[in-house]
Structure 1
Amino acid sequence: TMSILGLILAPWMAVSALFGQISGAAQKQALAFELERSKLERKAIDARLRLLQAQVEPHFLFNTLANVRELVDSGSTQASTLLGSLIAYLRAAVPRLQKPTTTIREELELVRAYLEIMHMRIPDRLQYSLHADSAAQHLDCPPMALLTLVENAVRHGIDPSEKGGRIDVRVETDGLHCKVRVVDTGAGLWQPAGAGGTGLATLRERLQLLFGEAARLELVRIAPHGVSAELDFPAARSAE
């Protein structure tokens, strides 16, 4: 009887084992497929980030070179100083286009070089200050993020204002978030709150790819005139 029962059950046990093997192989294949898809999605995001980082508008670079030429042609001693500031900017800017991240300290070096150039262009219409808490200096920062906010303040705040204005850059951290504030006393915000030009739109897309909903970028009107660009993103200390 046991022999007959064994003969009856054996095929079913073999089939069950075979299905188990097939199921296990299918699960492994599905897991491998999901892992590969995740890698491809990550590569796509990285490629998109590199593309967005490369979209640094060079208009001010060409304007600065034109200004240098004018100063050279006029025999001005400022030409050498302006050229030196431009070289400092390029030394700070170019490597960042190839890096997925930078630090707050490095970003401030870039912003300072940029503002020095702008100050030479409109010395009577631009004043500025830069400050970062010591705890924030070595935090990771998306490349060109601070520069984008400062460029926006110059282009849409200081340049359109007959009297110019002041730009104050401040970076703080509470340990969980990095808080960036770029405040200008220029022409003010004529677009809807939270809007901005192409540079800010690109920055918002980069922040979304990097941090999802954990990052925030807003433009806030300041009375009687001026704008505060407020950027918050998760704090991560650089390994450097």
Structure 2
Amino acid sequence: MRPAVHAKSILFAPHRNASHYVPTIKELPDEKNLSQYAIIKRIGSGNKIFDVFDTNRGEFPTGKPDPASRIFWFKRSRAAKGGYTMFSSAISQTGPDGEDEPMANIRAGLRGNVLLIRAPEAPAAELGWHIINHRVDAIDSYRMFTLCDGNTYQWTYRGKWLERVHNLGEKESEVRERIGKVVPNGDFGFTLFIDESKMIREMALSTALCSFIDQWNTNLEVGGIYYGRQPGQVRWKRD
């Protein structure tokens, strides 16, 4: 897949050079008004499991001391590269044979997607497939998806912002409303800040994990699960 990753990165360049404009940015609300979740690699899992902890609005920045206090976890799939299944502690071992029932399935990569299976706060129309598309412009590169409210959302490469986009593609008329962000926690995971009045946490967590293991894990801005950033590499800057 490395040749495909390089090819797609090269194809970004002409559009990037021809798309100079300055959209309106609505800044993220104060962090004290946002929900915060720590997504941390589980020790001893070989990077196959990410646990999700509620930080209680920053009281426990990297999760509570008790590992059993996780509210969700993501388990890597053996069948698909970049594939993970999301589970919830609230419905653990509630399947017909005592198995854990999934909340969502995600797949990161050149053809990313999220299959939302259940979410207590989500409207029924939100359940189902959400395709994650790639987009670039002179400002940044993005992972974009649409929710049932008809709005388009995007994760940015620089700044790691989650934005709700109004008037998409209308150049100076485009408005980007920041509703969340990700702060990396070194090699251990990341912390998600999200305005849950604008997006349910299940979608925010799932799409953030897609970007964490693919979009932000490479110097090429695409293909991180195939051609990830190596230890010691410094992010290069385009002229």
Give the TM interval when normalised to the shorter protein.
Answer: under 0.3
What is the TM-score normalised by the length of structure 1? 0.26
Q: Which has the higher strand share?
A: 2
Q: Which has the higher helix share?
A: 1
Structure with bigger RCO (C-alpha 8 Å, 6+ apart):
2
Rg larger in structure: 1
